[in-house]
Amino acid sequence: MISFSLIIISSLFFSGIIIRTKCIFSGRKGPGIFQPIKDIRKLLRKGSVYSDTSSFIFKIAPTLYFSTLLTATLFIPFGDEPGLISFKGDFVFFAYLLALGKFFMIISSLDTGSSFEGMGASREALYSMLVEPAFFILMGSFALLTGHLSFYEIFSHLHFGSYISYAVGALAAFVFVIIAMIENSRMPIDDPKTHLELTMIHEVMILDNSGFDLGLILYGSSLKFAMYGAIISNFFLTRGKEWFFSVLIFAGIQLLLAVIIGAIESFMARFRMNHNPQFIFSLTSISLLIFLGVLLILGKIV
């Protein structure tokens, strides 16, 4: 319950910190940290408009998408405390629960009958498919290292004690940061501010969403960021830590992740569209390096 509550609280600040970081680097005053949440609150109080050509799938997709995100947060542990839901192989269920939500968002964009939204949906599906091997190789490597198969058991038995293990942990944190940016359609893969027809990916998928539905989708992005930040923080939360120290570490990592994302979006240009698959698939290579590092730690490679 602690993990779920902290993720919800972090999600209220996350987008605002990213925007604030970008404003600082660009020399602008910019909006307050709570402005994105205020905008979402306004949307949640409005009604949604539906096209006559769309079916019930378009109406239920945002709610299902948000429901899968909320359910996925229940699997994430917090130091010595397991998630509200925990069982062997739960990280597999976690990944495909998120995939289920994205599937409904993809078919809802196709349900509008717009070839423009279908273009964005196909790109979104491609990028999610390419990032999937990196996640499973990474989690499989840590399952091999610890001998356990659930989020809670993996992180609670994960300890770094050698230079190789520290390198493995740093690479794993890097992979999760990039996965979070890809899953949330951020720079340098996608630009949430763009409205250029040839380069839109996620934003074109939600062009027909409005009001309450759009509010759920936008808040879902902040929630997903906070969720991946919670996973990264578990690399640094070990047994024996007092809970208030763990909360400080958790908050610090969430803040650092938001600042890093804001800095990346401030100083990196968006990739050309045909370079995105190459960049995303390179995460699989890094995950394989992590797997080799685990084999070295276990003495499987001499």
User: Where residue 242 falls among pLDDT bands split at 50, 70, 90?
Assistant: low
How confident is the prediction for the chain on average, in pLDDT? 87
> What does the pLDDT read at residue 96?
92
For residue 274, the 8-state DSSP code is G
CA 1 to chain centre: 20
Q: Where are the domains of the chain?
A: 2-297
> How far is residue 101's CA from residue 216's CA, in Å, rounded to a whole number?
12
**Residue position matching structure tokens 């047994």:** 239
Residue 46 and residue 210 in contact, taking contact as beta carbons nearer than 8 Å: yes
| Residue 50, helix vs strand vs coil | coil
Residue 220 and residue 97 in contact, taking contact as beta carbons nearer than 8 Å: no
Residue 142 and residue 153 in contact, taking contact as beta carbons nearer than 8 Å: no
Q: Give the closest residue to 257 by CA, choosing from 302, 294, 224.
A: 224
One-letter identity of residue 159? H
pTM (predicted TM-score): 0.90
Residue 186 and residue 265 in contact, taking contact as beta carbons nearer than 8 Å: yes
DSSP per-residue letters across 190-257: --TT---TTT-SHHHHTTT--HHHHHHHHHHHHHHHHHHHHHHHTTT--TT--HHHHHHHHHHHHHHH
Tell me: the pLDDT tens digits for 129-148? 899 999 999 999 999 988 88
Tell me: the pLDDT tens digits for 104-124? 999 998 888 877 888 888 888
Tell me: the pLDDT tens digits for 64-118? 999 999 999 999 988 778 888 889 989 999 999 999 999 999 999 888 887 788 8
Tokens of 253: 């990592």
